[in-house]
Amino acid sequence: MHWPRRIPFVLTASGVLCASIIAAALTTADPRWWLSCFSRLGAMNDVSSAFFDGGLVLTGAVIALSARPVLIGLRATFSAGFRARRAVPMLIVALGISLILIGMLPLSFNVFAHERAANAALASSAGLLLMHRLHLRGLSRTLDRIANGAVVVLVIGMAALIAGAITLTIFEAVAFGSVITWLHGLEVVAKRLGQATPTPFMANSQHRILSPIWGTR
């Protein structure tokens, strides 16, 4: 079954999330929502909240689905010493589920549950970058650069947030944006690795590579 390798899950998820945020921002009753956080868009109990929360649920579902092609691709790296073939897909699923819960449990419904889901998303993102540091370095130079950049963005962003130099909305945007960029890079690398995995020979295969000996006398 080849469709999981062809669909750009992470880009699709990013498009859905951006579209839902724009739709919610254009219809919200609170034009100053950006001074708080993105979750403010989902706490108005109106059509803007439906756009935002529904978009988060759909985004989380698509991101969770992206774990499948990543798993397929990372299987090919196990023999080369890369040991994160299961941990990384599990963290991707955890990130997707966390986003789904953020959408299903808006601030207006339950602040405690919403914050726990948001913390789980942050922990899953940090876990993915840690897995890259421990097990995926060297898999792709481009992916290594993106991961290093994401760590720098998270550290500087957190420091700026604590110092009050930026709002939580800005931190959420740059933090999630950097992680989703890395995840897209991983999906691209995994797709290439999955396609490069040798296909076992079958007697009824239409693609046979014959040795020159069969064409000689």
Residue 200 counted as domain residue: no
Residue 213 counted as domain residue: no
Res 6: pLDDT = 63
Using one digit for the tens of pLDDT, what is the confidence trace for 66-95? Answer: 998 888 888 766 544 455 567 889 999 999
Res 4: pLDDT = 44
Residue 186 counted as domain residue: yes
Exposed/middle/buried for 6, CB within 10 Å: 0-12, 13-18, 19+? exposed
Res 194: pLDDT = 64
Residue 114 has pLDDT above 60, yes or no: yes
**Mean pLDDT of the 138-159 span:** 92
Number of Cα atoms under 13 Å in the Cβ half of residue 155: 7
199 Ramachandran zone, left/alpha/beta (phi>0; psi -120 to 50): beta
Distances from the Cα of 141 to the Cα of 66, 132, 178, 184, angstroms: 21, 12, 16, 14
Q: Which two tokens stand for residue 167?
A: 């709002």
Using one digit for the tens of pLDDT, what is the confidence trace for 185-216? Answer: 999 988 887 665 444 434 343 343 333 333 33
Which residue, among 205, 189, 163, has the nearest Cα to 80 in the 3D structure?
189
**Mean pLDDT of the 141-167 span:** 93
Cα distance between residue 115 and residue 118, in whole Å: 5
User: Which residue range(s) make up the domain with 19?
Assistant: 3-194
Residue 181 has pLDDT above 90, yes or no: yes
Residue 207 counted as domain residue: no
Residue 203 counted as domain residue: no
Which residue, among 90, 113, 97, 91, has the nearest Cα to 39 in the 3D structure?
113
N-terminal to C-terminal alpha carbon distance within the chain: 40
Provide the number of structural domains found in the chain: 1
Mean pLDDT of the chain: 83
Residue 201 counted as domain residue: no
Residue 143 has pLDDT above 60, yes or no: yes
Residue 205 counted as domain residue: no
Residue 42 counted as domain residue: yes
**Mean pLDDT of the 111-134 span:** 92
Judge whether 46 and 108 are in contact, CB under 8 Å.
Answer: no
Using one digit for the tens of pLDDT, what is the confidence trace for 32-77? Answer: 998 888 999 999 888 999 999 999 999 999 999 999 888 888 876 6
Say how many C-beta atoms besides its own lie within 10 A of residue 65's C-beta. Answer: 18
Q: Which two tokens stand for residue 30?
A: 């609170």
Q: Which two tokens stand for residue 73?
A: 């691709």
